[in-house]
Copies of this chain bind each other. A is one copy, B any other.
Amino acid sequence: MMLIGEVSKQSGCHIETIRYYERIALLAPTARTEAGYRLYREQHIQQLRFIHRARELGFSLDDIRELMSLKSQPQLPCQSVEAITEKHLQGIQQRIEHLNSMAQELRHVAASCSGGDIAECRILGALANPANAHDGNVP
C-alpha cells in the first residue's frame, strides 16, 4: 500500500492529476488511511501507467474511459478497441493536415514579405484579405 506521492513517481502522473482522475471518476475512489490519505496498490499503478501512456498517444479521457472499460471485459472481441484507435488516428491525421495547410499558407505569406515598414508589410496585408488569395491585387 502506497501513498499518492509514491504512486505519482511510479506512474508518471502528477499528484494533482491523479486526484483529478479520481474526481472525474476515471479512477474509482481508493481506500483511505484513518487520517484520510489515499491508499494505493500495484494495480492502481498499472491503471495510471495505462492512462499516462494513452494520453501520450493523444487519446482523450473519454476514449480512455472506454478503453479501460473494455479492458475489464476480456471475453469481448477487440474490434471496439481497434475502432477507437482507428478513429483517434483519423482525428490525428485531420489535425496534421489542418496544421500543414496553415503552415503552408503561413510560409507563403511570410515569403512575400521583404522587410521594410509595417505600412508595406505583406504579412499584415495578407491578413487583411479573405482566405483564397495566392497573392494577386484586389481590383
Are B119 and A106 in contact, CB atoms less than 8 angstroms apart?
A: no
Partner of A77 from B71, B92, B117, B124 at Cβ < 8 Å: B117
Given contacts A53-B127, A74-B119, A118-B70, contact A99 B102 (CB under 8 A): no
CB-nearest residue of chain B to A96: B99
* A137 proximity list for chain B (CB < 8 A): none
A119, B129: Cα distance in complex, Å: 56
* A74 proximity list for chain B (CB < 8 A): 117-119
Are B129 and A81 in contact, CB atoms less than 8 angstroms apart?
A: no
CB-nearest residue of chain B to A77: B117
Are A117 and B78 in contact, CB atoms less than 8 angstroms apart?
A: yes
A71, B122: Cα distance in complex, Å: 11
Q: Does A131 contact B (CB under 8 A)?
A: yes
A115, B92: Cα distance in complex, Å: 23
Q: Does A85 contact B (CB under 8 A)?
A: yes
Are B49 and A105 in contact, CB atoms less than 8 angstroms apart?
A: no
Are B82 and A116 in contact, CB atoms less than 8 angstroms apart?
A: no
Besides the known contacts A77-B117, A85-B110, A92-B99, 11 further A-B residue pairs in the complex with CB atoms under 8 A apart: A50-B127, A70-B118, A74-B117, A76-B117, A77-B115, A78-B113, A78-B117, A81-B123, A88-B106, A95-B99, A99-B99
